């Protein structure tokens, strides 16, 4: 069962989808929403040298850390769960790109996200997703597009 409501978040019109079950993984989000994994995006906190950045990654892709590190000129690793809580203020699985904390960081985005008109992203809790227009997401986040993502096997 899913409840859908229209909201304006950070100036953007989004559909908030609230589920009875958790949607904190791409697989669960795809199963519960009925959308393919290519229309789900993950918002991941990374460490690049001594700073944090956010990667927006299509659900059917993974980060190639060697390529991303080379593109950014510094070693990039996944942040630990406690760092996600500390930096973004939410637990892993509840991260949303529509947050002031994400906006305060550098954002890199998987260019293949642009193949979609809309995507589903984390909604700020483990049982919510937001359906957002890709152009709106790009205009809000002003990401760097780096081709450092590859199909998940």
- What is the tens place of the pLDDT at every residue in 72-109? 999 999 999 999 999 999 998 889 999 999 999 999 99
pTM of the model as a whole: 0.94
Q: Decide if 123 contacts 17 (C-beta within 8 A).
A: yes
Q: What is the pLDDT of residues 34-74, one digit of tens each?
A: 999 999 999 999 999 999 999 999 999 999 999 999 999 99
Residue range(s) defining the domain that contains residue 21? 2-151
CATH (domain of 120): 3.90.960.10
Strands 51-58 and 41-48: antiparallel
Asked whether residue 153 carries a pLDDT value surpassing 80, the answer given is: no
**Residue 122 and residue 131 in contact, taking contact as beta carbons nearer than 8 Å:** no
* Dist. CA 127–CA 36, nearest whole Å: 18
Q: How many domains does the chain have?
A: 1
Helix (H, G, I), strand (E, B) or coil at 122: strand
């Amino acid at each position: 069962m899913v409840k859908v409501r229209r909201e304006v978040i950070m100036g953007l019109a989004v559909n908030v989808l609230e589920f009875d079950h958790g949607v904190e993984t791409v697989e669960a989000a795809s199963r519960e929403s009925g959308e393919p994994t290519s229309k789900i995006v993950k918002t991941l906190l990374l460490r690049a040298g001594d700073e944090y950045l956010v990667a927006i990654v299509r659900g059917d892709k993974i980060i190639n850390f060697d390529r991303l590190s080379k593109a950014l000129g510094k070693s990039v690793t996944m942040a630990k769960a406690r760092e996600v809580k500390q930096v973004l203020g939410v637990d892993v699985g509840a991260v949303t790109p529509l947050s002031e904390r994400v906006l305060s960081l550098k954002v890199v985005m998987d260019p293949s996200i642009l193949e979609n008109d809309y995507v589903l992203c984390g909604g700020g809790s483990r049982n919510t997703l937001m359906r957002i227009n890709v152009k709106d997401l790009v205009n809000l986040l002003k990401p760097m597009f780096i081709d450092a993502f590859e199909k998940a096997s």
